[in-house]
Amino acid sequence: MSEEPKRRLIVGPFNRVEGDLEVKLEIDGGRVSAAYVNSPLFRGFERILEGRDPMDALVVAPRICGICSVSQSHAAALALAGVMGVEIPRNGMLATNLMMATENAADHLTHFHLFFMPDFARPAYEGRSWFERAEARFKAAQGSAVRGATAARAELFHVLGILGGKWPHTLTLQPGGVTRAADARDRVRLLATVGAFRRFLEDSLFGAPLDRILELAAPEDLERWRLSGPAGDFRLFLEVAEDLRLAHLGRAYGRFLSHGAYPETDGGHLYRRGTFADGRDAAFDADQVTEHHRFSRMAGRERPHPPFAGSTVPDGADEEGYSWCKAPRLAGLPYETGAIARQLVDGHPLIRALVAQDGGSVYSRVVARLLELARTVRAMEGWLRAIEPNGPWCATVEMPDNAQAVGLTEAARGALGHWLRVERGRIAGYQIIAPTTWNFSPRDLDGVPGPLEQALVGAPVQEGERTPLSVQHIVRSFDPCMVCTVH
Amino acid sequence: MNGQTLRERPLSVLWLQSGGCGGCTMSLLCAEAPDLMTLFGTAGIHLLWHPSLSEETGAEALDLFERILSGAEPLDVLCVEGSLLRGPNGTGRFHVLAGTGRPTIDWVRDLAAVAGTVLAVGTCAAYGGITAAGENIADACGLQYEGTLRGGALGGEFRARDGLPVVNVAGCPTHPNWVTETLMLLAENALKAEDLDLYQRPRFYADHLVHHGCPRNEYYEYKASAEKPSDLGCLMEHLGCLGTQAHADCNTRLWNGEGSCTRGGSACINCTAPGFEEPGHPFQQTPKFAGIPIGLPTDMPKAWFVALASLAKAATPDRVRRNAAADRIVVPPTVRPTRKG
Ligand code: SF4
Ligand code: SF4
């Protein structure tokens, strides 16, 4: 690689991410020396929610994001359930998990096939041993895998058609359960739909039964898969990753958090809640979360904002702020979230070992996502079998005049929280912290960069590159959702 | 001329997103039979660029925009998803197109001026949508409407090169087939001004009501109503359903395999209509005056509704009444013995 003189670069519009993203890079000696991440869109959902009937959050909040709208519904429903003190019947919980899992599984699939892999089909990689295969499978909007995945994704969404009426902006999730009971016929029809999706993963993505993915426990297992595993897009990815050294690209702080995904009847989650930082597990304490506005284009720059007392007052004249995104911190520190965080917190041996070796990287983020896809589809089949069509689906209780609660869930890209305050029967405060708000946070009160800003430092830039490929790989490895970020 | 003319080259489509949620694109990817990529290929639709689906990022995308503006690259259809943001203080700076330092609303105005047809994809781009709710601090509007008022980002007088006003493929999100079929009709030059309704929505889906084909129609006839979420009864009387007024074919053209809002147990909130975001009451509650729902079915005189409703209630069969308040069929229809031979 040739040496680059010092220069600055503004990268945008950044595509194959959800929403609007601009990245300012400082480049020195052929590497990124500093990065500033800007979300250049402000809509103001927190303000739209204020003053409304609390149940309207079920209509408004999902419209924050069309890619994880069920997750937004779920966070809203959980916050409402918290203020109402309602318990959800088991069927309601299973149906909710199924809808969430459908969205998340589709999201992982879309990310891999439509957003992440097409970068390796770009002319810049011509001549690599894997290029022709990558191009045939993943050329943007044309590759055979892109087409197949789009069709498989649409079919998987039949789960949401049946259980949720439509997607996105499903209105079925309620604080007390779901508005649609599934009968015995629905259950078997859904088993067929999920079974067909599993078949697609096995035939096309993994080239092997899901069980074999679920058995992967150590980096050596992955190594063997790369060298002699079944032909499939997973193996192609492993080959590309090895050749381009993606395990050494895009390391952030090594601090991860998860709100816990897919509630279970015993109060736990299929994927545990907690944090994993510097190699150690700890509990997640929502009271330790604050947002900083120091470099956001928001009023209230001088102090941290606990979400129950948060504020969203855009300051269009501000010169110092460089993003509409706020900077969330846990006990004052930036954290990364996403499939990699969920699997680390849950203690998955393969992901723990990969992160122990090379940290969170482009490589380990993508492996965690694909592994989670396999685990989640397995769980969906279990939930479907557990449905008892004759049991209750939805509980109803009154809305109190005054109360506050937080709804914590996981979207595909990580920890999502809605902090809701109800006063005199109306929404008095509604603060949202989305996964990409964590990951793509600007600098905080102490000037500490957010996780992506940190992960970009050191990324190689080739001479003449106007939109460095390494930067694109790193950014997309987080599967960012900018509309959620700034909401 | 009636019907289609053959095009010499594929219909070129540029897709931009502004103050929305990306949900109309996500919905579009749910197109089936055939899947989206196959449909575009076979229908002669060529995506010049789309923020979620294309290869080009950053500088390469901006080069394309420049080629379109200079006329070097012909643009048949400009699709805009998401509302246009005029704030703060008319600067448009709540949404700057990344990498350009320039408000997206300005880019949209320039590109619309060279486009053959301009399509608003979704209710945000059509009328402002959810982003315009509440105090509308972003000062959101649609391409040619602000709620029910003509105007918006391009102005009420705007006509694209083909002479059509903005085509509003409204819906929150919009159904994938509403978009693909509109594009296919455009590819055949088969969409004319008379094919749009009062709010410039394609009539092929907007001349229907959501109420048509709703599985709750029998409950509606007898005013046997759902009282709480997950009940099977009609959602109009208590739970806010606007299906009898909503222009869309959601219950005859299903979503995601076999769904619709009312099939999923939730009220139709009339998401294809300008101003749906501010119904003036909680979304899932029906406002009433003297016990009678305000906002009666389209084309129904109030006195008739009141008279019919009380008659219907008195005549409600036990089966319909009991099922309406349950989450599954508790009383099946009577099976009558059929005559032999
Ligand atoms: S639920 Fe709505 S759409 Fe269905 S019958 Fe009742 S009023 Fe009509
Ligand atoms: S049923 Fe009503 S609210 Fe639901 S998608 Fe159709 S028009 Fe929109």
Name all domains of chain B by residue range, CATH numbers in brackets.
11-207 (3.40.50.700), 213-323 (4.10.480.10)
Length of chain A: 487
Instruction: Establish if A1 belongs to a structural domain.
Output: no
Instruction: Establish if A281 belongs to a structural domain.
Output: yes
3-state secondary structure of A163: helix
Collect the ranges in chain A with pLDDT lower than 50.
Answer: 1
Instruction: Establish if A364 belongs to a structural domain.
Output: yes
Q: What is the pLDDT of residue B306?
A: 86
Structure tokens at A133: 């295969």
Say whether B60 and A467 touch across the interface (CB within 8 A): yes
Cα B278 to ligand 1 centroid, rounded to whole Å: 20
Domain residues for the domain of A114 are 7-485
Instruction: Establish if A2 belongs to a structural domain.
Output: no
Structure tokens at A360: 């969170």
Q: What is the pLDDT of residue A13?
A: 86
Tell me how many domains chain A contains: 1
Beta bridge partners of B289: B292
Report the CATH number that the domain containing residue A54 is assigned in CATH.
1.10.645.10
A487 is in an annotated binding site: yes
Q: pLDDT digit string (tens) for A415-445?
A: 999 999 999 999 999 999 999 999 999 999 9
Q: How far apart are the first and last CA of chain A?
A: 40
Sequence-ordered strand ranges (E) for A227-272 = 255-258, 261-263, 269-271
Instruction: Establish if A88 belongs to a structural domain.
Output: yes
Residue A63 is nearest to which of B21, B30, B265, comparing CB atoms?
B21
Q: What is the pLDDT of residue B291?
A: 81
Q: What is the pLDDT of residue B3?
A: 44
Structure tokens at A377: 């589809």
Say whether B32 and A16 touch across the interface (CB within 8 A): no
Q: What is the pLDDT of residue B1?
A: 39
Mutation to probe ligand 1, out of B210, B217, B220, B239 (largest number of atoms < 8 A from CB): B220
Residue keyed to tokens 């309601």: A92
From the centroid of its chain, how far is CA A301? 27
Question: Hey, is the C-beta of B42 within 8 angstroms of any chain A C-beta?
Answer: no
Q: What is the pLDDT along chain B (341 residues), one digit of tens a residue?
A: 344 556 788 999 999 999 999 999 999 999 999 999 999 999 999 999 999 888 888 889 999 999 999 999 999 999 999 999 999 999 999 999 999 999 999 999 999 999 999 999 999 999 999 999 999 999 999 999 999 999 999 999 999 999 999 999 999 999 999 999 999 999 999 999 999 999 999 999 999 999 999 999 999 999 999 999 999 999 999 999 999 999 999 999 999 999 999 999 999 999 999 999 999 999 999 998 888 888 778 888 888 888 888 899 999 999 999 999 999 999 999 998 887 65
CA dist., res. A12 & res. B309, Å (int): 58
Question: Hey, is the C-beta of A65 within 8 angstroms of any chain B C-beta?
Answer: yes
Structure tokens at A157: 């969404």
Q: How many CB pairs under 8 A join A and B?
A: 273
Q: What is the pLDDT of residue A3?
A: 55
Structure tokens at B186: 């455009």
Check: CB of residue A331 under 8 Å from CB of residue A288: yes
3-state secondary structure of A414: strand
Helix (H) / strand (E) element for A69: namely helix A69-84
Nearest to B175, CA basis, from A154, A299, A439? A154
| Residues of chain A contacting B24 with CB distance shorter than 8 Å | 66
Q: What is the pLDDT of residue B293?
A: 84
CA dist., res. A411 & res. A414, Å (int): 5
Nearest to A370, CA basis, from A167, A265, A216? A216
CA dist., res. B207 & res. B191, Å (int): 15
Long-range contacts of A297-301 (CB under 8 A, 24+ apart): A297/A42, A297/A321, A297/A322, A297/A323, A297/A324, A298/A324, A298/A326
Residue keyed to tokens 């250049």: A40
Cα B78 to ligand 2 centroid, rounded to whole Å: 25
